[in-house]
Structure 1
Amino acid sequence: MRRNLTYALLALMLGGLIMVILKKKITGARTGSGEVSYNYEVRPILSDKCFACHGPDANKREAGLRLDMAESAYAKLKDGKGFAIVPGDPEASEVYRRITSADPGYVMPTPESHLSTLNEDEILVLKKWITQGAKYEPHWAFTVPVQQPLPEVDNPDWIKNEIDRFTLSEMEGLGLSPNEEADRAQLLKRLSIDLTGLAPSLELQQKFLDDDSENAYEKVVDELMSQKAYGERMALHWLDVARFADSYGYQNDDARTQWAWRDWVIHAFNSNMPYDRFVTWQLAGDLLPDANKEHILATAFLRNHKITEEDGVIPEEYRVEYHLDKTRTFTSGLLGLTVECAQCHDHKYDPVSQEDYYRLFAFFNSSREKGFDGSAGSGPAKTPVLTISNTEVKNLFSFINAPDTSQIVVSVMGESETPPATHVLNRGVYDALGKVVTAGALPAVMKFDSLKYPKNRLGLAQWTVAKENPLTARVFVNQVWQEIFGQGLVKSTGDFGMQGDLPSHPALLDWLAVDFMNHGWNIKRLVKQLVVSATYRQSSKTTREKQEKDPENIYLSRGVRTRVPAELIRDIVLSTSGLLNPEIGGPSVKPYQPKGIWEATTANRGSLARYVQDTDGLLYRRGLYTFIKLTLPPPAMIIFDASNRDHCEVKRQRTNTPLQALVMLNDPTVLEASRVLAERMSTRTIPLDKQITELFRRIVCRNPTANEIELLTDYYHTELATFSKDRKKAQTVLNVGDHLHEAHYEVSRAAALMRTISTIYNMEETITKS
């Protein structure tokens, strides 16, 4: 174990060293002319080392000096003794003298700041920048995206569309070359998972393999995108952004009925609603001039936050908390900014003041929402609510799956006739009222023209989707790229600010953002652009050279290899076994869950005091529909890094733990799927090798190798010998899950085949997109 730990630490150190080398190569490639880039080389250093004390936060600013603004950095210092930065003369610049000093009483950053001193490379960058004139540039994310000419490349024959010109140009700059196209089986599985979240059926696999036409690939893309499952796959990420859950959260965690909004989201993606309209309806559908109930339903997006049902709370405290949550969701999910620290003080790194924050908060503070609207069990929705009748489901809301219900009640938005004044809250405390402010969007992003936009949520929505807004299109394009390629062009998906990661392909990101807006914010068109590119179609094989030059595959010289999201693991198991209930939409369901774990987290009151497992077809719904209780999200999904949905999340973490292997080995759904498939296959009179080949194709989505067939055959015979001697043990193994057993099957053969199928499900490749 000690040796393994040593190897792991060495690998980690080597990986860090490679990234440092790579970063230097990338920087050199970007500044080949010798000119230092402020955005790519200088600002990250200043942001890490200087802005905490010399940045936007006036309350924490030392010596009245701002280094994030040229006019302040060039001005005479407050004590009258020199200048922080003298363009062209680093030796006369107080900044340079202090970062190179060895005097602990003079050096910057100061020892008390607990920030590390600048290293030799960082000092050289700042010295060169000052020597070259210390030119400041606006933060890249706050400038309106512009399409640059498509790059010239050495290998134009590889290109399928415009995306490939940008990626290939970067590869060639680093001395990398793209991989060959993935084989058809691998490519179809990747495509099916990305577009539907399901493994391709045997029929679709054969159809694609047999299609020799030039546009075979594009035809299968169109076929997959036309399926209703496309909307479910696309909705999954948006539910994370919208922090969708089926309970209120907090201690008295009772059920609520927001699921009709989820049905609307699926419908919106399937009907290819333009993104600007998709956003506008969710932010302000109730304020549209021709607002109907569908517009109002869309605003449930803003009401998916946690809501208290605990007696004795201070209503105003929670009313403010709900609107703070809306503000965080808006900025992180739609603008890709982390502005929540401005709740208490001016932002330390981004040009967002506390007053700016509360002016944004004011858009939501006019809601009729209450801080306390009844204790546990007081209802499935909170004021304001939208009630949808059965008649309206049949006419206006045909996309809502509403079985056996007289009406649906959803928490939505609605404006107060007499909205309270919005104050800057000192230290962010709900009752520490400061200056009164009026509604206004973030000026650092784009001016909010009150003559052009009304000072309400509809005005905020219009400001958000204006083509002049530098963030909205970039942020959404980046999120879609992340879902397809596993990592965004901006790695910090929720932070496009000063402390966020720089885009790996800035020209590509801007080109896609402008193209997206110019083509009507068409989401399906964007998704198709990504998946038909040669960049997407590459094999995921790698080489030592590629691992050394680009270990994280930032420059996309190979295909993606990542584990599928938690919900899709369930979907793959259910769809490949034949258990999947393909019904679209409807209330959330409660599948198998460890006994007692639910009750241990409840207050023993309300409708969720006990876990009541669903039965029949409801047990086999897609992972998207699994009931999410905020105080206890689905355990198996959380183990596979699903969002716990208690806040807006635009990027899931990705971990590898032994618990994940234990889930795949022991989860009742996986075992039941293995059992059902085994019983069905064991009744068929075909040779074992053909059975194993078909099972492998069904689950892994490719033909097994001769060695894989041999290993699985040997394992089957070993298990068959065991179960033939102990039929009672075989019966025990098969006694899993609620699905009915097949009418005629041989117990020992079925048990042995079940173990073999379970082994295939436990292959890493089964739940990996590669």
Structure 2
Amino acid sequence: MRDALRRLRNTHVARKLWRRAPVSLLALSLSSLLAVSFARADEAALDPAAVEFFETRIRPVLVEHCYSCHSAAAGSPKGDFRLDSAEHLRNGGPGGAVIEPGNPAESTLISALKYESYEMPPSGKLSDEIIADFEQWVAMGAPDPRNEAATADEAPTVDPRNHWSLKAPQKVAAPAVADRAWTRTVIDAFILARLEAANVKPSPAADPRTLLRRLHFDLTGLPPTAAELEQFAANSSDAEYEQAVDRLLASPQFGERWGRYWLDVARYADTKGYCFQEDRNYPNAFKYRDWVISAFNGDMPFDRFVVNQIAADQSGDPNAAAASGFLTLGRRFLNDSQLINDDRIDLMTRGLMGLSVACARCHDHKYDAIPTADYYSLYGVLASCTETPRDDLPAAMADAPQPATQHIFLRGNNGSPGPEVTRHFLSCFAEGEPQPFQNGSGRLELANAIASRNNPLTARVWVNRVWGRLIGRGIVATPSDFGVRGEAPTHPELLDWLAVTFMDESWSTKRLIRRIVTSNVYRQSSAPRPDCHEVDPTNALLARMNRRRLDMESLRDGLLQAAGRLDVTMGGPSVQLTTAPYSNRRAIYGFIERQNLPAFFRTFDFANPNTPAAARPQTASPSQALFMLNSPFAIEQARGLAERSAAVPENSPPLADTDRVSQLYQFALGRKPSVEEIAEAATFVAAGAQADAAAQVASQPRWQYGYGTYDPLSDRADFHQFPHFANGTWNGGEAFPEVEAGWAMLNVQGGHPGDATHAAIRRFTVPAAGTLRIEGELQRHAAEGNGVLGRIVSSARGRVGEWHVPTGGSATSVESFPVSAGDTIDLIVDSIENNHHHDTFFWRANITLTREDGSVEAWNTLDGIDGPRTAAPAPLDRWSQLAQVLLMCNEFAFVD
């Protein structure tokens, strides 16, 4: 691997591309790798996703199973050990720390949960899935946001019901700005007002090529072709740009791109996660995925989109049956109904409204206006429903014949029922007591309440998600947390203006996207702004566009498109993306394994399918570069790109190297190379012809075993490899003699010829130039028959020796002769006059190569005989290496 890196980086082309890519994936140092891999536990605790994992998977278990003995409320905690704050858990008890962040195997807490040391909790061992959650939490660094104030149940200093996100959005007028010429849209006015207040100017517009490439990836997830880029650059105008926007919004690939974003929120996967004695797969999960894609392509109003997914059976939409997968395709938790309902509550509230209602499962929410009664009111809705399997669609939700009577579960324990609660919507949206749902389970009423114009959150949350996808960060930087602990909006008036306008325009996602991408804010250059480092180091004011790395789907699809292999067929069952032969389908159609997400997905920051994903991280790690360098899939696309660059119409002459370089750049990067790039690439390719040939020879096996015919006119052998190997013998098949090769066979000592057209041939491939000497002896022990004829034939010089052996033995020595790398030397044994009876032979041969540098290497036929082996992939030739460099550079992997 190190040699491959060095070889690539030492080429003129690679050095130029590294200079063009200041944050190249391959340029990360070991210190960067260590920083990524060994983040401190306190840093992990600041990560909202890590906090979310603790709050939803760890804290409820501690509350239910541990606090009664190991908390301040226990009076005198058993073992003098408390688990009710981060500090106490970190310090451990009299025996020392019980967790080692990052190392579950060495953590006493984990061994106690597994009943391998202590047996905790003593009331009974927890489920394997809960223990697995604790192992994952410790492996993450044991992030724990709790503090003493939180455990003391202190009242918040600010009434959470007055939080900004719970107030109805207001559509205020656009602010006045000084540079009115820059404000193409209302969006621009809101952004520019903040910039002018900070005395910062917006960036100039991106060049036409950069802008069209950005637009293509954002709206379809695919790059534009070189022809599309060239045409747009030559005719760039507002009208042309808006036509491109409308064309891409109408493209079938739009639904695939934006459907994938939604599937992140919906925690979509094709499997159930950990389960026992049941099918792990959701065989019809893809029907939900395809419904989502179709809904986005058809621009289904978002309020109806939401209602269909929560109450498809009651929404009145006959085409929405598959939408029920939104609720039914989550983790199965060994079919624990309490955990399944908890997951669905989290999905509906955090995924759609940005509220962490699931945190109120065990106690009133510590920060937001969500009492435990609200959690169990929603729980009661789900408990009043049944899940119905279907043969051709995801399982459906249906109301039970009688609604359930729901109680609060004290400390989240369903074995400790508390006060009864009605089924109702969240009380923070009601004036006074919330009104109970009246119809059946109340699921349709819940769906309508979530998708209501009177709900201050749903439109805001979706608008913010769309903005974040297009701009690179949300107006609210915590897109799934609009609560007290979430980030405040950077531009609250803009967020409200967009939310109200979105609802006024029939909840149209396409109109919302069009409004954003036609703004000057979106069209800005992403070039760094040193003048803004002090005023706006995180670019929250949006003085420039944010540069973004391609996500996993766009990267994979882009590789296939560059190689000319992308299959744009839509819909259908999911396909495996990480096993050969590799599918050419778009990545959205890839099979998602919830429990064991493949390394490729994790390497490129795929969303965790166990939980509604707020947003994907954007990392740059050495493992990403090494994937592009070493993965068979990436290498396959580099070869495909190189082959595509050489393609010419039938009966046309081959392309000149300079023209082929130009083709390569256009397919990979969507542009023609500069004169300097052409010259450097052509020089690189020409200089590598000899090295490629040597690498090709080095990858071939030294010995091959087969049969064929020696032609005295051409002085060459027609060689065919034996197809069958067993018990140290190569021959034509399991049956012997075989129909095609007859009695022909070879073993370590010798073999047997077939008939006149099936001589036994042992072929040696010369690994390097030099002189070759051959010594040996050919023996035939039988007295019957005519004997055998042995020949040694060089592919470069023809026959260099011939010996007739009736019986007994004959020396088979050949004086030294010059050879080149790749020459073949055939040791051929024929029967005489087509009489192959009793012609078993023994041939010992020693081959000595003296290389041009004076080193000597020798091979003896008696040293062994190779059986079948998987052919090593041929090394990349210079054209494929050049293609690989282009596919690895930042110009390919990032969107400016």
Normalising by structure 1, we get a TM-score of 0.70
Q: Which residue of 2 aligns with 1:275?
A: 302
Deviations 1:492-542 (A, max 9, x none): 011000000000110100000000000100110001111111100111112
2:478–2:614 CA contact under 8 A, matched in 1: no
Q: How does 1:555-594 map to 2 (within 5 A)?
A: 555-593=541-579
SS of alignment partner, residue 755 of structure 1: helix
Letter in 2 for 1:428: G
Letter in 1 for 2:352: L
Q: 2:260 aligns with which of 222, 236, 240?
A: 236
Letter in 1 for 2:359: C
Distance change (3 Å), C-alpha of 1:445 and 1:137: closer
SS of alignment partner, residue 659 of structure 2: helix
Q: Could you tell me how far 1:682 is from its partner in structure 2?
A: 2.6
1:153–1:165 CA contact under 8 A, matched in 2: yes
Q: Which residue of 2 aligns with 1:255?
A: 281
1:567–1:637 CA contact under 8 A, matched in 2: no
Cα distance in 2 for residues equivalent to 1:764 and 1:721: 30
Cα distance in 1 for residues equivalent to 2:637 and 2:30: 36
1:678–1:753 CA contact under 8 A, matched in 2: yes
Q: Which residue of 2 aligns with 1:149?
A: 173
- Greater CA drift, 261-270 or 693-702: 693-702
Q: Could you tell me how far 1:175 is from its partner in structure 2?
A: 1.3
Cα distance in 1 for residues equivalent to 2:380 and 2:677: 62
- Greater CA drift, 426-435 or 567-576: 426-435
Q: Which residue of 2 aligns with 1:138?
A: 162
Q: Could you tell me how far 1:635 is from its partner in structure 2?
A: 1.7
1:426–1:433 CA contact under 8 A, matched in 2: yes
Q: Could you tell me how far 1:691 is from its partner in structure 2?
A: 2.6
Q: Which residue of 2 aligns with 1:322?
A: 340
Q: How does 1:361-510 map to 2 (within 5 A)?
A: 361-369=379-387, 384-387=388-391, 408-446=392-430, 448-450=434-436, 456-510=442-496
Letter in 1 for 2:615: K
Distance change (3 Å), C-alpha of 1:4 and 1:319: closer
Q: Could you tell me how far 1:718 is from its partner in structure 2?
A: 4.0
Q: 1:338 aligns with which of 356, 360, 364?
A: 356
2:437–2:445 CA contact under 8 A, matched in 1: no
Instruction: Give 5+ residue unaligned stretches, structure 2.
Output: 1-26, 36-67, 74-145, 152-156, 649-653, 702-872
- Greater CA drift, 664-673 or 142-151: 664-673
Q: Could you tell me how far 1:193 is from its partner in structure 2?
A: 0.3
Q: Which residue of 2 aligns with 1:754?
A: 880
Instruction: Compute the RMSD of aligned alpha carbons.
Output: 3.2
Letter in 1 for 2:618: R
Q: Could you tell me how far 1:436 is from its partner in structure 2?
A: 1.8
Q: Which residue of 2 aligns with 1:541?
A: 527
Cα distance in 1 for residues equivalent to 2:271 and 2:159: 52
Letter in 2 for 1:229: Q
Q: Which residue of 2 aligns with 1:664?
A: 628
1:682–1:749 CA contact under 8 A, matched in 2: no
Cα distance in 1 for residues equivalent to 2:400 and 2:390: 15
Higher strand share: 2
Deviations 1:691-720 (A, max 9, x none): 323322322234444454444344333433
Cα distance in 2 for residues equivalent to 1:160 and 1:541: 21
Cα distance in 2 for residues equivalent to 1:347 and 1:235: 32
Q: Could you tell me how far 1:451 is from its partner in structure 2?
A: 7.9
Letter in 1 for 2:390: L
Distance change (3 Å), C-alpha of 1:426 and 1:723: same
SS of alignment partner, residue 413 of structure 1: strand
1:627–1:634 CA contact under 8 A, matched in 2: no
Q: Which residue of 1 aligns with 2:249?
A: 225
2:208–2:236 CA contact under 8 A, matched in 1: no
Answering whether residue 331 of structure 2 is matched by residue 306 of structure 1, we say yes
- Greater CA drift, 258-267 or 446-455: 446-455
Letter in 2 for 1:385: P
Deviations 1:638-657 (A, max 9, x none): 11110130111121122222
2:165–2:482 CA contact under 8 A, matched in 1: yes
Deviations 1:336-385 (A, max 9, x none): 1112220111111001111111112222121213xxxxxxxxxxxxxx12
Q: Which residue of 2 aligns with 1:373?
A: none
Distance change (3 Å), C-alpha of 1:532 and 1:247: same
SS of alignment partner, residue 481 of structure 1: helix
- Greater CA drift, 440-449 or 215-224: 440-449
Q: Which residue of 1 aligns with 2:889?
A: 763
SS of alignment partner, residue 418 of structure 2: strand
SS of alignment partner, residue 407 of structure 2: strand
1:582–1:621 CA contact under 8 A, matched in 2: yes
Answering whether residue 221 of structure 2 is matched by residue 165 of structure 1, we say no
Q: Which residue of 2 aligns with 1:712?
A: 681
SS of alignment partner, residue 549 of structure 1: coil
Question: Would you say how many aligned residue pairs link Structure 1 and Structure 2?
Answer: 578
Identity of aligned residues (%): 34
Distance change (3 Å), C-alpha of 1:446 and 1:489: farther
Letter in 2 for 1:205: L
2:629–2:884 CA contact under 8 A, matched in 1: yes
Q: Could you tell me how far 1:332 is from its partner in structure 2?
A: 0.9
Q: 1:297 aligns with which of 322, 325, 333?
A: 322
Q: Could you tell me how far 1:156 is from its partner in structure 2?
A: 1.2
Q: Could you tell me how far 1:291 is from its partner in structure 2?
A: 5.1
Q: Which residue of 2 aligns with 1:125?
A: none
Distance change (3 Å), C-alpha of 1:698 and 1:417: same
SS of alignment partner, residue 444 of structure 1: helix
Normalising by structure 2, we get a TM-score of 0.61
1:282–1:298 CA contact under 8 A, matched in 2: yes
SS of alignment partner, residue 585 of structure 1: coil
Cα distance in 2 for residues equivalent to 1:467 and 1:473: 8
Cα distance in 1 for residues equivalent to 2:685 and 2:225: 24
The higher radius of gyration belongs to 2
Q: Which residue of 2 aligns with 1:199?
A: 223
Q: Which residue of 2 aligns with 1:402?
A: none
Cα distance in 2 for residues equivalent to 1:520 and 1:434: 43
1:678–1:751 CA contact under 8 A, matched in 2: no
2:642–2:664 CA contact under 8 A, matched in 1: no
1:237–1:650 CA contact under 8 A, matched in 2: no
Q: Which residue of 2 aligns with 1:398?
A: none
Q: Which residue of 2 aligns with 1:516?
A: 502
Q: Which residue of 2 aligns with 1:15?
A: none
Instruction: Give 5+ residue unaligned stretches, structure 1.
Output: 10-58, 63-109, 116-129, 370-383, 388-407, 594-612, 733-746
Kindly indicate whether structure 1 or structure 2 has the higher relative contact order, using CA contacts under 8 Å at least 6 residues apart. 1
1:181–1:539 CA contact under 8 A, matched in 2: yes
Answering whether residue 213 of structure 2 is matched by residue 189 of structure 1, we say yes
Distance change (3 Å), C-alpha of 1:545 and 1:327: same
Q: 2:607 aligns with which of 643, 659, 662?
A: 643
Distance change (3 Å), C-alpha of 1:718 and 1:176: farther
Cα distance in 2 for residues equivalent to 1:649 and 1:675: 35
